[in-house]
Amino acid sequence: MSNWQILLLGILSILIIDFLIHLYYGWKSVPLFESCPPFRQDMSGIDVSAVTRIQIPSTNGVTLRGAIFAPRQEPCGVILFLPEVQGCWQTAAIHASGLTDAGLAVVAVDFRNQGESDALAGYSPTHWASEYELQDAQEALSFIRRDSRLGHLPLGVHGVSRGACVALALAAREPQIGAVLAQGPFSRDALSLHFGRELLRSLCGPLARFVPDWHIRLTLQVTCFLSERRHGCRYLEISNSLHRLSGRSLMLTVGARDQYVPPRLVKQLAIQAAHIPEDVVWIVPSSKHNQERRVMGAEFDRRICEFFVQSLSRSSPAPFGPQQTTRIHRR
């Protein structure tokens, strides 16, 4: 056997061993990748009696359910609210209730396999946003455009956690969305890399710094692929499309005590969206994940209301489609 054949055989052996290592640790990492912290909100004292209930057909024969929160006066804009994982349309009363006081209508919907919406057989959602949630958000957006009371109004979107990821992905595809508020958003690639490196550091100590990011990402790609097969979906990677939000009205919030989404990763999202982090990212003092309004209250309402009202006053109304009559109750 010649020297070059020996060298080629050695390289091939290393590549096979490396592949098997990625495959093994990718498979072992699936339970951690899919592990979701408890994000349940305290719904006690929430009043959602004065709403208009809605049903929206989505893909695969799934019907989405939600509600319209209407202001007392004629709305000056409409906000599509996308809830967090384990949340439901009623959590709009926690995160977005201040918007109706500012004259904005809020349309809140449950994603499929969540809350009151239909479940799709073979799909098991996780805290990672998938193409199914994006499809549901697109159908909710189409509902707004068809509605006779809402379809002509300037449009914004407000998402929380997983819903924030969907909100960013939706706005990147829909230029008629004039303003985007994302609470606790995250990129799948960046967040999984962050926790992957934390895990490696806990296992290997100082030696972990010698493992390059690309090597961890290869293992995580295997993990993501296996998880997608288990849950019957394809996960979104929002960082690939954030550049389309350049020049758009954007507000990102994250808790200073958020142990799930580090504030630095939210700042990275702002940079990927071609915005200056100091201009669009609000790190909410003392807040944990999804708890911005619980902690700041009036200040949170003031900031997001000013953001949407000012942004939508400068944006063009969403295109008005075929009318769909919906009666909006006034509170």
pLDDT in tens, 233-269: 999 999 999 999 999 999 999 999 999 999 999 999 9
Q: Which of 149, 145, 84 is nearest to 111 (CA)?
A: 84
Percent of the chain with pLDDT over 70: 90
Residue 239 pLDDT: 92
DSSP assigned state of 179: E
Where is pLDDT greater, at 11 or 176?
176
Q: Would you state the pLDDT for residue 215? A: 85
Domains, the chain, with CATH or none: 72-189+231-314 (3.40.50.1820)
pLDDT of 102 higher than 80: yes
Q: What is the predicted pLDDT for the residue at 18?
A: 67
In eight-state DSSP terms, residue 100 is H
pLDDT of residue 277 exceeding 60: yes
| Of the candidate ranges 10-14, 96-100, 189-193, the one whose mean pLDDT is the lowest | 10-14
Q: What share of the chain is helix, strand, coil (3-state, %, to 5)?
A: 50, 15, 35
Please report the pLDDT score of residue 43 as a whole number.
Answer: 67
- Region of 45 (left: φ > 0; alpha: ψ -120 to 50; beta: rest) is left
pLDDT at residue number 327: 38
- Would you say the C-alpha torsion 40, 42, 44, 50 has a positive or negative sign? negative
At 159-173, the pLDDT tens digits run 999 999 999 999 999
Count Cα atoms within 13 angstroms, Cβ side, for 329: 11
Compute and round to an integer the Cα radius of gyration of the chain.
Answer: 22
Confidence of residue 317 (pLDDT cuts 50, 70, 90): low
What's the mean per-residue pLDDT of the chain? Answer: 88
35: confidence class by pLDDT, cuts 50, 70, 90 = confident
Give the model's pLDDT for residue 207.
Answer: 82
Cα 216 from Cα 187, distance rounded (Å): 16
Answer whether residue 331 shows pLDDT above 70: no
Residues 7-26 pLDDT 10s: 777 777 776 776 767 677 67
**pLDDT at residue number 329:** 38
Q: Is the pLDDT of residue 319 over 60?
A: no
